[in-house]
């Protein structure tokens, strides 16, 4: 089932931080977005906070991506910032302004996305009355056009017309099970001309009706040919609305079939599979589709009908939760968190985390990727168990779960993506091949460190891991020697550890045999994390005791150079010089 995007809590100054943290407690996955340089980075700053540079651009970006926004500042500021986007019709996320001292909660936009529900939740936490201004909501105590999960409005345009009729004094009947309206103060009358109807049957255009569809219809088909049209025809033949579709069921042999996946997308319904591959694969027609339904674990009181186009329909009297039907195609997304700070994690990685049912990874990184919701399962493990962790991820994903494997930096740089692919390549598990596998890149430590120092990787460079846990030391020596000879800038990952105390000195001996003592060196430690440090030095001055396992070592080429920074130009860094490798070569 679609997961709700956690809200972004925006603050402009330190005076709003306390209220922001109270709201964060109310929405466990929400992050506080702080304006760079305005809020003192003190004990209250959290590494999970997101730092932005310009409020207007940041608000518009959040709005455009559909992220709910709680802005702890004047309502006018928020309105001016998002105003340029309001002309474009599209999904409108909830947008609220909250007084920085928590004394007022003003829902601004996103009436149909539940902004008033959020306003009430926030107001309850802050113990103030919410500033609800929506007439229908004030009069009826609920937004009639925002039915709960599992229900869909037939027509928003008609819905608005219907509510304004009620506001103008019309009364209504309620037909069908609309339990969420039980406590609403609707002007009900048993013989009213107007009716709110809860039905899977399509709306016939009657303007006296507000039709809300329970997502209670499950369709099954055994082949993907022309699936969209056949499903639409099957629904139409029984007078059923497309919005009433709860799920599309196909045989497990159809996992990975892109035509089916596209059809499900086009119809806005999740795709589910049953294990009845042998039943379905061999026969065509409604009988085998019906057989699929019988293995899909549907509610027992469903009415099942066959259609001429080989599709079977099951109609329940309540919404059907697609998570209870058959199983979804499992998903495994291997993500990189970037070096540490939330603003250096790519949005695709954040989206994967928000949708994950299970999160796996080395305990430190899993913790960095949080916080998680109560419905998400976290599987932290020890760093060394990479192949076992990769296999565990596939086992979970092939059972239909949405699994995220976290690495730091980029998942393909000395990290989990290779282990995951090796597990898939060598395990010989056919079910694992059906998993939807994605690898989402991240900002690797070398890139993050280089950016802080300037552009030391501006010309040809190589990345080397100095760890001889998984490769013989002799190979490392040979590679360093060749890299030195090729005059490549070198980024050393895993430079030392307690178990590998001498390797860095040995590596530096090889480098020093050829490269001049004035060669530029950049050391980045815990970049993007609390207590980050960046040091620029030279090969001659570098001591291996300046380096630990949390350090990135960048050794310049013969052309890498440095120059003094003008401190007035650069308020973000205590760094005194810029280091770069020019694009040219002589």
Applying CB under 6 A, which residues contact ligand SAH? 339-340, 407-410, 413-415, 444-445, 449, 493-495, 524-529, 549-552
Smallest distance, ligand SAH to C-beta of residue 440, A? 13
Give the CB-nearest residue to ligand SAH.
409
Smallest distance, ligand SAH to C-beta of residue 523, A? 9
| Torsion (CA) 191, 193, 196, 199 in degrees, nearest 10 | 90
Query: For residue 396, how many other CB atoms are within 10 A of its CB?
Result: 20
How many angstroms separate the Cα of 54 from the Cα of each of 38, 50, 84, 137, 198?
Answer: 11, 12, 16, 34, 46
Token pair, residue 444, equals: 């690797």
Smallest distance, ligand SAH to C-beta of residue 551, A? 6
The b/e string for 319-352 (b: 16+ C-beta within 10 A; e otherwise) is bbebeebbbbbbbbbbbbbbbbbbebbbeebbbb
Q: Which is nearer to ligand SAH, 357 or 444 (CB)?
A: 444
The packing angle between helices 115-126 and 17-26, to 10°, is: 120
Q: Which is nearer to ligand SAH, 148 or 530 (CB)?
A: 530
Smallest distance, ligand SAH to C-beta of residue 492, A? 7
Smallest distance, ligand SAH to C-beta of residue 526, A? 5
The packing angle between helices 55-64 and 75-86, to 10°, is: 50
Token pair, residue 11, equals: 């603050």
Q: Which is nearer to ligand SAH, 50 or 276 (CB)?
A: 50
Q: Which is nearer to ligand SAH, 28 or 530 (CB)?
A: 530
Smallest distance, ligand SAH to C-beta of residue 264, A? 34
Is 582 within 8 Å of 561 (Cβ atoms)? yes
| Torsion (CA) 370, 528, 405, 403 in degrees, nearest 10 | 40
Smallest distance, ligand SAH to C-beta of residue 470, A? 11
Q: Which is nearer to ligand SAH, 253 or 497 (CB)?
A: 497
Instruction: Spell out the SS3 assignment of 310-347.
Output: CCEEEECCCCCCHHHCCECCCEEEEEECECCCHHHCCH
Query: For residue 135, how many other CB atoms are within 10 A of its CB?
Result: 12
Q: Which residues contact 65 (CB under 8 A, 6 or more apart)?
A: 347
Q: Which is nearer to ligand SAH, 203 or 414 (CB)?
A: 414
Smallest distance, ligand SAH to C-beta of residue 357, A? 24
Q: Which residues contact 435 (CB under 8 A, 6 or more apart)?
A: 329, 330, 331, 332, 394, 397, 398
Q: Which is nearer to ligand SAH, 289 or 494 (CB)?
A: 494
DSSP secondary structure letter of residue 202: P
Spatial separation of the C-alpha atoms in residues 214 and 4, rounded to whole Å: 19
Q: Which is nearer to ligand SAH, 377 or 497 (CB)?
A: 497
Is 267 within 8 Å of 242 (Cβ atoms)? yes
Q: Which is nearer to ligand SAH, 462 or 549 (CB)?
A: 549
Smallest distance, ligand SAH to C-beta of residue 345, A? 12
| Torsion (CA) 532, 535, 539, 541 in degrees, nearest 10 | -110
Q: Which is nearer to ligand SAH, 295 or 333 (CB)?
A: 333
Q: Which is nearer to ligand SAH, 107 or 340 (CB)?
A: 340
Spatial separation of the C-alpha atoms in residues 165 and 160, rounded to whole Å: 9
Smallest distance, ligand SAH to C-beta of residue 410, A? 4
Phi-psi region of 270 (alpha: psi -120 to 50; beta: other; left: phi over 0): beta
Smallest distance, ligand SAH to C-beta of residue 397, A? 21
CA angle, residues 468, 473, 475, in degrees to nearest 5 = 110
Q: Which is nearer to ligand SAH, 27 or 492 (CB)?
A: 492
Smallest distance, ligand SAH to C-beta of residue 535, A? 12
């Amino acid at each position: 089932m679609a997961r709700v995007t956690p809200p972004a809590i925006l603050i402009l100054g330190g005076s709003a931080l306390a209220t922001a943290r109270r709201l964060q407690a109310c929405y466990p996955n929400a992050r506080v977005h702080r304006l760079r340089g305005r809020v003192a980075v003190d004990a209250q700053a959290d590494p999970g906070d997101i730092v932005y540079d310009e409020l207007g651009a940041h608000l518009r970006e959040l709005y455009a991506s559909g992220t709910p926004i709680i802005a702890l500042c004047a309502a006018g500021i928020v309105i001016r910032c998002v105003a340029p986007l309001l002309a474009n019709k599209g999904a409108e996320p909830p947008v609220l302004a909250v007084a920085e001292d928590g004394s007022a909660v003003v829902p601004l936009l996103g009436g149909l996305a539940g902004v008033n529900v959020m306003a009430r939740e926030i107001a309850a936490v802050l113990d103030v009355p919410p500033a609800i201004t929506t007439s229908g909501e004030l009069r009826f105590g609920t937004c009639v056009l925002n039915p709960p999960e599992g229900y869909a409005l037939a027509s928003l345009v008609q819905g608005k017309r219907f509510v304004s009729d009620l506001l103008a004094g019309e009364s209504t009947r309620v037909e069908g099970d609309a339990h969420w309206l039980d406590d609403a103060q609707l002007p009900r009358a048993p013989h009213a001309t107007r009716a709110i109807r809860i039905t899977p049957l399509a709306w016939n255009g009657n303007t006296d009706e507000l039709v809300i569809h329970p997502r209670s219809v499950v369709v099954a088909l055994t082949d993907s040919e022309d699936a969209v049209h056949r499903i639409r025809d099957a629904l139409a033949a029984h007078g059923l609305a497309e919005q009433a579709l709860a799920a599309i069921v196909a045989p497990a042999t159809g996992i990975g079939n892109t035509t089916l996946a596209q059809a499900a997308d086009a119809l806005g319904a999740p795709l589910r599979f049953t294990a009845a591959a042998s039943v379905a694969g061999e026969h065509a027609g409604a009988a085998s589709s019906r057989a699929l339904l019988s293995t899909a674990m549907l509610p027992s009181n469903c009415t099942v009908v066959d259609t001429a186009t080989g599709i079977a329909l099951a109609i329940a009297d309540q919404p059907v939760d697609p998570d209870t039907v058959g199983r979804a195609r499992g998903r495994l997304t291997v993500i990189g968190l970037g070096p540490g700070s939330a603003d250096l994690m790519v949005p695709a990685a954040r989206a994967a985390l928000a949708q994950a049912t299970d999160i796996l990874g080395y305990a430190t990184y899993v913790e960095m990727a949080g916080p998680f919701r109560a419905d998400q399962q976290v599987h932290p493990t020890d760093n060394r168990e990479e192949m076992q962790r990769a296999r565990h991820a596939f086992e979970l994903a092939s059972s239909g779960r949405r699994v995220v494997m976290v690495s730091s930096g980029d998942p393909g740089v000395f990290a989990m993506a290779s282990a995951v692919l090796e597990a898939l390549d060598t395990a010989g598990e056919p079910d694992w091949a059906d998993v939807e596998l994605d690898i989402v890149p991240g900002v690797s430590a070398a890139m993050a460190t280089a950016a802080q120092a300037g552009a030391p990787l501006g010309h040809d460079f190589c990345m080397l891991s100095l760890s001889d846990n998984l490769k013989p030391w002799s190979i490392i020596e040979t590679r360093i020697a060749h890299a030195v000879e090729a005059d490549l800038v070198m980024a050393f990952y895993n430079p030392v550890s307690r178990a590998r105390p001498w390797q860095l000195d040995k590596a530096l001996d090889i480098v020093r045999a050829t490269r001049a003592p004035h060669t530029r060196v950049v050391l980045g430690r815990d970049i993007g994390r609390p207590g980050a440090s960046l040091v620029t030095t030279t090969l001659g001055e570098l001591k291996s005791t300046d380096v630990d396992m949390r350090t990135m070592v960048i050794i310049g080429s013969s052309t890498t150079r440095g120059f003094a920074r003008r401190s007035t130009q650069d308020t973000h860094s205590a760094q005194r010089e810029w280091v770069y490798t020019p694009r040219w070569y002589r």
